Amino acid sequence: MTTCPNCGAQNESAAGFCDQCGTSLAGAGMAMPAPAVPVSSAPAIGGNTCPSCGAVVIPGEAFCEGCGAQLSTAGPVPISMPPSPPSVVQPQTFYPQPQQSGGSYSPPLVSSTPAQIVAKNGQIFTLAGKPKYTVGREDAVSGIFPDIDTTSSGGEEGGVSREHAEVVYQGGQWLICALRTTNLTYVNNQEVLPSSVRPLNPGDQIRLGKWIATFQM
């Protein structure tokens, strides 16, 4: 290494001029000035060339080591970084949940197997194509028309309310939901509390007040 007599910077032994201040290093050590590199010489990968003599210089040096020319325009080669990929937000999947309001359920599925409610007098009410059926008796004055009208099968005499119960299909199972009525709802002689549900299985007896029917599939 050769020490610059002007600024004290350390330079390569073959350098003819200080790469920090451009001072001649001819008498600063045993090394002789390095011959100038022809302009036609190919620069090293990642380096620059001196605009005066064409010598390869290190990016960032202030002066050429070959001829001492100022390299004010020389600088490090900028490195382009690839843009960061955008963050990916995974979509969330939401599933509908049964809604409950005053004991009334709205299940999202419809049974593919029809079911039946068979009244004691033999009248058959088929459950197919809908997820919910209101059970009661018709009252045209009040504008109440239940899906399963028990009027013609003794519902009025048996004490069935206009909107007594609901039969719903949920999660692959038929259920009966008891509404708030004067007379009670029973399955196999067990009371179904208001605004609660009970599963229905083939052969179960349904009783609304004194009106009796059987659930079949």
For the chain, domain boundaries: 1-77, 103-216
Report how far residue 10's alpha carbon sits from residue 2's, in angstroms, rounded to the nearest whole number: 6
Report how far residue 71's alpha carbon sits from residue 31's, in angstroms, rounded to the nearest whole number: 23
pLDDT digits (tens, 9 = 90+) for 183-205: 999 999 999 998 889 999 999 99
Cβ-based neighbours of 122, under 8 Å, separated by 6 or more:
none
pLDDT digits (tens, 9 = 90+) for 117-143: 999 999 999 998 899 999 999 999 989
pTM score, whole prediction: 0.49
Identify the residue with better confidence: 180 or 99: 180
First and final C-alpha spacing in the chain: 100
Give 103-216's CATH code, choosing from 1.20.1050.90, 3.30.110.30, 2.60.200.20, 3.30.1360.120.
2.60.200.20
pLDDT digits (tens, 9 = 90+) for 3-27: 887 777 777 777 777 777 777 777 6
